[in-house]
Amino acid sequence: MLFQKNDTVLFIGDSISDYERARPVGEGLFNAWGTSYVADAAALLTCMYPELSLRLINMGISGNNIRDLDARWDEDVLAHHPDWVSVLIGINDVWRQFDSPQMKETHVPLEEYRQTYIRLIEKTLPKVKGMILMTPYFMEPNRNDSMRACMDTYGDAVRGLAQQYGLCFVDLQSAWDRLFEYMHPCNIAWDRIHPNQVGCMYIAKQFLAAVGADRT
């Protein structure tokens, strides 16, 4: 398992991480982690590895793209002195290109996405034990769908960065493809983006597998 005793693990991203987490910091009493995959992963880690006394923080903000993460990285990530940073970002970077095509200022081109991600990785790695990179996704099994095809290029960029910097990698898009061999995406998310409880747990399970959390 990647995490060690007293490690702080910080999750950052968009609405998929947010899910009504506490403000200003998503940790503490009264379900402060919210109800996303972060809450599921954090709860399972706490139950599975109680002796590690892990500190788990949710800093997702709904609607964020990678520009937003760049703007708040120092305050919302580095200021918490995490040992591990898990990043799930890119859905809005792509989605705005399709649901708001005329509002080009809201679109984040692939190369800007990649270069901003590189800047965040290189800024963070000297200060942490490691990072976990998760691919953005679209719950569309048809790979020829225009938004799915675009999302795959952003996911490929994340894969490439994980390989380049030797980081833990979680391929959520491939995970959804496996699940949807047995069910329709509408069974998980009406908009094919925001998962229900089953979908949140499914993401959490992909995360736990990637970090080597395998206790029952």
Per-residue confidence (pLDDT) for residue 201, from 0 to 100: 98
Residue 216 lies in a domain: no
Structurally, the chain folds into a number of domains equal to 1
pTM for the model: 0.96
Catalytic residues, by residue number, are 15, 191, 194
Per-residue confidence (pLDDT) for residue 215, from 0 to 100: 86
Helices (H), the chain: 15-18, 37-48, 66-76, 91-99, 110-124, 146-165, 172-179, 197-211
Residue 120 lies in a domain: yes
CATH label of the domain that carries residue 199: 3.40.50.1110
Residue 161 lies in a domain: yes
Residue 2 lies in a domain: no
Per-residue confidence (pLDDT) for residue 20, from 0 to 100: 97
Residue 3 lies in a domain: no
Residue 90 lies in a domain: yes
- Give the domain range for residue 187: 8-211
Residue 81 lies in a domain: yes
Secondary structure of residue 85 in the 3-state scheme? strand
Residue 71 lies in a domain: yes
Per-residue confidence (pLDDT) for residue 98, from 0 to 100: 96
Helices (H), 14-78: 15-18, 37-48, 66-76
Q: Is the dihedral of CA 168, 172, 174, 175 positive or negative?
A: positive
Q: Which residues of the chain have pLDDT under 70?
A: none
